[in-house]
Amino acid sequence: MLAPERRTRADIVIAAAIAALVAIAAVVIWFTSSARGTESVTADKTLSAPPTPSQVPTDLRELWHAPDAAAQRALVTGGVALTADGGTVTGRDPRTGEQVWKYERDIPLCGVETQFGTVVATYRDDRGCSQTTQLYGESGKRQTARSSYMDDAVRLSVDGTYVLALGSDRLEMWRSDLVRTLEYGKVDAPVNPHTQPRSGCELLSATSGSSRLAVLERCPKDNADRLTLLNPAPKDGTVPEEYSSHVLTEPGGAAPGARVLAVSDSRVAVFLPGVDATPPQIALFDISGNPIATYPISTNLSDQATVTRIGAVFAVFTGNSLIALNSSTLAPTWTYEGAVGSPALMAGQLIVPVADGYATLTPDSGAQNKRIPLQRSDYHGEPISLAVVGPTILERRDNQLYAVGAP
């Protein structure tokens, strides 16, 4: 019979050394991980969306305001108002402004968006705007995350199906679970070479829909902007699937300021700046990139122009007016002069910010129904983005979010 094995002093020393190395590795991983620089305070109760009033309130005042520099528009999800500033996303009670939940990191935010009751927050590290976290909108609880090489600045937008992260060199499309469906433009480490149709292009503008992605880009060998229509979710997300791509020969196609406005299943609307004797115009193209129609407009779009999808219209804020585009044909249907920002829907009416308060419009015709006065504090003509949650109107302006409601 063999004698039982006995532990020697060397065995004990080796085991202790291994345990020490494991402990040191754990400390290093924790010290360098994103969790170390993250503070998450989730909601202790659900803040349900309050009922929408049957009529737009007429007696309004400012209720509270908070910094909101990292967002690009006024954001709500369920019954929660959102602010994003520095490295912190905060869910707030829309009536009082009190914190409902908070998600904070020690790196700066690049952008924030909302869709499907979730909040998508993208942060900047040494690989650009590469770290994205998805939170449950009602609680602030972390749902999922993704990481990938991105530009130093990106613009997030949503279309009801996908999230679009647009930089000047590359873009990505993400599903509702943040899984990437498409990368386009510069690829950091391509598995297969020559998967992208072009290289060295500057991505100027992009807009997505459930079945189409329209990109306006300027490529080195082109003498004008190029309009490219893509599948937002091709079979292989690293290999773009083009429906069409052509250089714009229309007047304004080579002028600074052109941009994609809206895309449907069969059409895309592009703003072309005025040049020489040709006025600014909205040009419509089919899915093959063939021109369909052009519609002259009175002024070039400002750098702060926005497009908001509301029901059956795309509302284009030009900088001093609203132009409504039919959501199917993308043809302009009405114009409202004197707007100072993008609208929102409340009690079946479009609420449009104007210099002295709000105008309410009939959505299908743009006819004004009434004007509602509002005394804004510290307002100097900055563009305003609106959102509505129950009876409360949220205004984002000058990197602040203001809540407006009845006293």
Express each pLDDT in 29-50 by its tens digit: 444 445 558 999 999 988 888 8
Q: What percent of the chain has pLDDT above 90?
A: 85
> Across residues 342-356, what is the average pLDDT?
97
What are the backbone dihedrals phi and psi of residue 22, each rounded to the nearest 5 degrees, phi first?
Answer: -60, -45
pLDDT score at 9:
66
> Across residues 6-16, what is the average pLDDT?
63
pLDDT band of 27, cuts 50, 70, 90: very low
pLDDT score at 407:
87
Full-model pTM: 0.89
- Give the separation between CA 386 and CA 159, rounded to whole angstroms: 18
Whole-angstrom CA distances from 50 to 135, 391, 392 are 21, 8, 9
Residues 278-284: contacts with CB under 8 Å, at least 24 apart = 278/251, 278/252, 280/252, 281/251, 281/252, 282/323, 282/325, 282/332, 283/250, 284/329, 284/330, 284/331
Place of tokens 């193209």: 285
pLDDT score at 135:
98
Q: Does residue 75 have a pLDDT over 90?
A: yes
CA of residue 338 relative to chain centroid, distance: 25
pLDDT score at 47:
84
CA of residue 18 relative to chain centroid, distance: 48
> Across residues 172-189, what is the average pLDDT?
93
Is residue 322 a contact partner of residue 333, using CB atoms and an 8 Å limit? no
Q: Does residue 392 have a pLDDT over 60?
A: yes
pLDDT score at 31:
46
pLDDT band of 13, cuts 50, 70, 90: low
Q: Length of the chain, please?
A: 407
- Give the separation between CA 74 and CA 221, rounded to whole angstroms: 39
- Give the separation between CA 152 and CA 78, rounded to whole angstroms: 31
- Give the separation between CA 184 and CA 206, rounded to whole angstroms: 11
Domains in the chain: boundaries = 48-405
pLDDT band of 11, cuts 50, 70, 90: low
Q: Which of 18-32, 189-203, 339-353 has the lowest mean pLDDT?
A: 18-32
Give 119-165 pLDDT, tens digit per residue.
999 999 999 999 999 999 999 999 999 999 999 999 999 999 999 99
> Across residues 279-287, what is the average pLDDT?
96
Helix (H) or strand (E) holding 57, with range, is none
Q: Does residue 28 have a pLDDT over 80?
A: no
| Token representation of residue 356 | 């002295």
Residue 168 region by backbone torsions, left for phi larger than 0, else alpha for psi between -120 and 50, else beta: alpha
DSSP states along 251-315: TTTTSTT-EEEEE-SSEEEEEE--BTTBPPEEEEEETTS-EEEEEE-SSPPPTT-EEEEETTEEE
Q: Smallest Cα–Cα separation from 136: which of 159, 147, 120, 160?
A: 120
Q: Which of 44-48, 71-75, 209-213, 323-327 has the lowest mean pLDDT?
A: 44-48
> Across residues 100-112, what is the average pLDDT?
98
Q: Does residue 176 have a pLDDT over 70?
A: yes
Q: Which of 48-52, 324-328, 369-373 has the lowest mean pLDDT?
A: 48-52
Q: Does residue 77 have a pLDDT over 60?
A: yes
- Give the separation between CA 402 and CA 396, rounded to whole angstroms: 6
Query: Taking the C-alpha atoms of 259, 264, 266 and 271 in order, what is their torsion angle to the nearest 10 degrees?
Result: -20
Note the CATH number of domain 48-405: 2.130.10.10
pLDDT score at 26:
46
